[in-house]
Amino acid sequence: LKHSFSARSVRQAGMSYLGGALTVDDEARTVEVVRTEGRVRKRTVTMARLKIGDAKARLVNGELRLGDVGVQLASLAEAEEALSLILGPRRSEAMARIAEAANGFLSARARAVSALAELRERPREAMFRMQEGSKEGAEDFLAKSESNWRSETEEAFDSLTAETDPKKSGLDASGVNKVQAAVYAIAAIQDSLASKDQKALGDALGLLSEVSKEKSPTPDAVAGWDAAKATDELAPRALAKINITGADWLQ
């Protein structure tokens, strides 16, 4: 059996348009979501998980009609949850988690790069400040700090990789690549601000502008930023504005 639900019915249920079609296999008691246009993305979940048997979503004349479930809030919430199970996390939630992970990675990396640069440029001051209050010897302290910076950066990167994983995020390859391009561009902005490399800064801002479809600020306009500020101000804004279309998201 092939069932579809209309944009109108979904809007009535208080959700944004998701599109797509459902194939309900009564015998196997599974529901499959298929996009009819573009590349195929299938999700098969059991009916039990959909709570169809509990009449939270019902088959009416061979069609699964969410709008027919009723307008009670509790039911809508249940219906929304059922859709989430089929269609993956809602875009805003997934994107928020990706942005948080990307920001975490960029911040961890910026902290590590800045600490290593300070150690290279002003070693005594850097070690003095870092070691204040510690009872460890300088060698031990340095080795431990360096190891911490590396592991924090790697852990944050692993977390970003996990959040952008298509199975978890619902992003397709193009969407994942856009997130990666944005992260790379912001890291490049941080590094070029630190090294005062105008050419690299221009390239990075251009890439970020293309990814987020935002008007690119000129290198002069960001010359006064430091790496930490670039992470705090740019990353969340740019990541939130990455132009991933609905089709990209679903496919």
Partner 1 sequence: LFKSTPRCISGHECPFTLFCATCGGMVVYRDLVAGLTELPRAEVKLEGTSVLLVGVSPFAGEGTFFCSLDTDVKEERTVDRLRLKQISGGAWLDYCRADRGLIDSWLRANSFFRSVHKMVVLDLAHPLSVLTVLSLPLDQSLVVVGLAAGDGSTPMEQNTSHVALEASMRRKLPIVVASRDEVAKMSYFLGREGLVTGFAAFERPLGSMLEAMPAMQDALYGDARLGVVVHRLMVLASASDAVYRSPSDAARALKALTESQGVANASSVLMIGSAARARSGEMKSAFDVFLHGMDEVVASKRVTLSRRDVEEVYDLMAVLGTDEWSSKDAARKGYETIANKSKELSVEGLEALL
Q: Which residues pair with 30 in a beta bridge?
A: 25, 46
Tell me how far apart the alpha carbons of residues 10 and 69 are, in angstroms, rounded to a whole number: 11
Query: Hey, is 89 helix, strand or coil?
Result: coil
Of 61 and 124, CB closest to partner 1: 124
> Do the Cβ atoms of 213 and 77 come closer than 8 Å?
no
Q: Which residues bind partner 1 (CB under 8 A)?
A: 105, 109, 112-113, 116, 119-120, 123-125, 127-129, 131-132, 137-138, 142, 145-146, 149-150, 153-154, 157, 173-174, 176-178, 180-181, 183-185, 187-188, 191-192, 197, 200, 203-204, 206-207, 210-211
Of 27 and 139, CB closest to partner 1: 139
Which residue in 211, 251, 237, 249 sits closest to 94, CA to CA? Answer: 249
Tell me how far apart the alpha carbons of residues 131 and 87 are, in angstroms, rounded to a whole number: 50
Q: How far is the CB of 200 from partner 1 (least distance, A)?
A: 5
Of 17 and 128, CB closest to partner 1: 128
Q: How far is the CB of 244 from partner 1 (least distance, A)?
A: 12
Q: How far is the CB of 210 from partner 1 (least distance, A)?
A: 5
Of 50 and 176, CB closest to partner 1: 176
Of 22 and 183, CB closest to partner 1: 183
Q: Which residues pair with 31 in a beta bridge?
A: 24, 45
Rg (CA), the chain: 24
Q: How far is the CB of 128 from partner 1 (least distance, A)?
A: 4
Q: How far is the CB of 29 from partner 1 (least distance, A)?
A: 38
Of 91 and 178, CB closest to partner 1: 178
Q: How far is the CB of 197 from partner 1 (least distance, A)?
A: 8
Residues 6+ away with beta carbon under 8 Å from 163: 94, 97, 98, 100, 101, 102, 169
Which residue in 28, 85, 103, 26 sits closest to 58, CA to CA? Answer: 26
Tell me how far apart the alpha carbons of residues 1 and 22 are, in angstroms, rounded to a whole number: 9
